[in-house]
Structure 1
């Protein structure tokens, strides 16, 4: 197995303190939004593998320094060099010669964009269409960066606030009506008079296509009313504080507000509008960049394509709690194969827990000081992990974990 060196992404919405506090480092004053663990080409993890000279070892130095004879390489390159060895034959058959998931530490200090992800068929169709039209992959109006879907799971490490799925139209109508903002009254009437799908579609369309200047004034009035009312309206006043005048503030009122406690999780499937508002969590997703934005962002919003992708149906924001097994594994059940996330809370003093699997794994420590041992690097005493540290375990590699602490285990289903 290999200890990973991971990149922290400094997105503007990131917390300046949450990731440094977990890692035990000094905050820089800059936002630290996401730490990526995986083989995504945007910021692949790095690891040390013996160089060619290290395999034989220089004659003059029978016990060379492991750092001096190893080169730091990206996990992407390691997998590309021998996909079946690193991922296992079954995973390569199922997902191709790449790691199909991306694991993250996510620290939201401000709301992320209100967004939705396509299903696999929609992603393939959209990507092919933009390729055919010659839209540059880095163009600001490009929607489909790849041909993959992007289901996600977020597990809270601290209290974590978010939005997930549409409310029932009547509930959204009551929330908006209480603001007593005249330009919003037509939305209230639509939500109360139309069938569910039509009501949600018509109101979201109206919000996103409204005159920007008039909508900015409406949002300002709604934010003032939400601040005054407090209670269930308080989150929207806070959102408006970060995104003044953004129509996404009103769109957010159509969605369920969710508060996760540490250890609870939320799954986000295709077509479900959502946003993270604040908190620290472990996120895992299919390895894709396909995002359609609905608001709370200065980035491009493709309204016609968004309306094609969104599932206009009210849903209950199901909060996931891990299901414990006799092995100590606490699994977060999801309906996808590209990733599988579970948690181990190690009490210390017990026998090592065998995590050997025929699939690739990333193990992430979020508390304590557990150790991971196996047949690869650090096989003797194992690799000690501090909070925020992680290891990559190739398919079939023997690995046992012991000690005291909390480990998240990311792998795939084949």
Structure 2
């Protein structure tokens, strides 16, 4: 392995069939028929709940087991000593229905929460478990289509304006004025359900007809709040308190090729579109609404950063090698985009373990083009591997690459 041998393989990820996913985008990307089952996420990595499979002449093997067979050689000494695993999880997402309001814990808090739930005897696959592992989960997304998401609390002046201009929220304005973000959010998240219903019903009665008549813009929180109600079969009996978050958070619109970084503690939710997502190797999610999954309000409040967020859209830094790098503060991962015109070649020697997926075009990869990187195909490349990618078709090739930002 490593510099003494080849460690480059075709990789097959795992589709996750979450209810919010679309039905066609991921199957079409992978060249598979749609099945009538939602295909929300395509996972590429070594997370124990859904490790990818690598193709080898001597027989297929899951990526987690491959890495464990020679971790220092496959990951590189620096990655292994720092993380003791492949430190990232690479995904393609197709968001048809909005995801839950969520926050991810810091590394230290994830370690404590994971240990606490283990000691309490909560099974790892229990639906009421908060911590699936002991890792933090910073993440970066790069839009593959026009993409909408919620990201962090509105700046103070904007949130004041919302509370004053939405008549149903008039009594919340003094709470925010006197006690700030934490008190406001704690107040609405801890309201008894009958009070939530009573408070939101007038708002729902006002905005749903506008939504059904196509009179709301997607940059208006009323659009997403109405959609949440219309698409929630339980809304007749129980209005979702996640609707408050739609009004309290920034609504971001991101164009294809632009990125957004979500750090620990920043509340967020994806609303609509397709993206590439790269995160620390974790599945820890603390939820606050817009989901049938487990919601733990005290735990959510404990880990949320109650501060104004001024949304930042990240554009990549383009290098001389046709690689556009999306820089973030995360030590666990770095995502980049490689675009090649017909006949062009990308050459590289890996400084850490890499996973690449092709979104468009026909390409070959490896030392001598032995691996496919045509649309929907993925490869795993171990540490210290010299390889090339050739654009072999008549269409521009677009490839996204996950790696570790080690010097």
TM-score by structure 2 length?
Answer: 0.89
Instruction: Map residues 214-225 of structure 1 onto 2, 5 A cutoff.
Output: 214-225=195-206
- Partners of 1:357 and 1:161 lie apart in 2 by 33
Query: Does 1:151 pair with 2:138?
Result: yes
Which secondary structure does the structure 2 equivalent of 1:144 belong to? coil
Kindly indicate whether the alpha-carbon contact (under 8 Å) linking 2:224 and 2:246 is maintained by their aligned counterparts in 1.
Answer: no
Query: Does 1:134 find its partner at 2:134?
Result: no
Does structure 2 retain, via aligned residues, the 8 Å contact 1:179–1:225? Answer: no
Partners of 1:241 and 1:321 lie apart in 2 by 35
- Provide the C-alpha distance between the structure 1 equivalents of 2:351 and 2:155, rounded to a whole number of angstroms: 43
The answer to whether the 8 A contact 1:173-1:187 is kept is: no
Deviation at 1:303, TM superposition (A): 1.7
Instruction: Name the larger-Rg structure.
Output: 1
Task: Tell me the CA shift for residue 155 of structure 1.
Answer: 0.6
CA–CA distance in 2 between the matches of 1:266 and 1:16? 25
- 1:238 equivalent to 2:227? Answer yes
Aligned counterpart for 1:294 among listed residues 268, 288, 293: 288
In the other structure, the counterpart of 1:73 is: 61
Is 1:209 paired with 2:190?
yes
Counterpart in 1 of 2:403? 411
Select 1:100's aligned residue among 87, 92, 95: 87
Structure 2 segments unaligned to the other structure (5+ residues): 1-7
Contact 2:350/2:381 (8 A) holds in 1: no
| Cα drift, residue 132 of structure 1 | 3.1
Hey, which bits of structure 1, 4+ residues long, moved more than 4 A? none
Contact persistence 1:156–1:261 (CA under 8 A)? yes
Q: CA RMSD in A?
A: 1.7
Q: Please, which moves more after superposition, 233-242 or 83-92?
A: 233-242
Q: Which residue in the other structure is 1:386 paired with?
A: 374
Count of residues paired in the alignment: 382
Say if 2:328 is the partner of 1:334: yes
1:373 equivalenced with 2:366 (yes/no): yes
Tell me the CA shift for residue 33 of structure 1. Answer: 0.3
Secondary structure of residue in 2 paired with 1:299: coil
Tell me the residue number matched to 2:247: 253
Q: From 124, 147, 153, give the equivalent of 2:111.
A: 124
Corresponding residue for residue 172 of structure 2: 187
- Residue 48 of structure 2 is aligned with which of 31, 41, 62? 41
CA separation in 2, counterparts of 1:395 and 1:17?
34
- Match of 1:250, SS state, is helix
3-state SS of 1:125 partner: helix
Q: Is the 8 A contact 2:143 2:254 kept in 1?
A: yes
Paired with 2:292 and 2:400, the residues of 1 have a C-alpha distance of 34
Matched, 1:344 2:332: no
- Partners of 1:361 and 1:394 within 8 A in 2: yes
Once the two structures are superposed, the pairs formed by residues 241-320 of structure 1 within 5 Å of their partners are 241-243=230-232, 244=235, 245-320=239-314
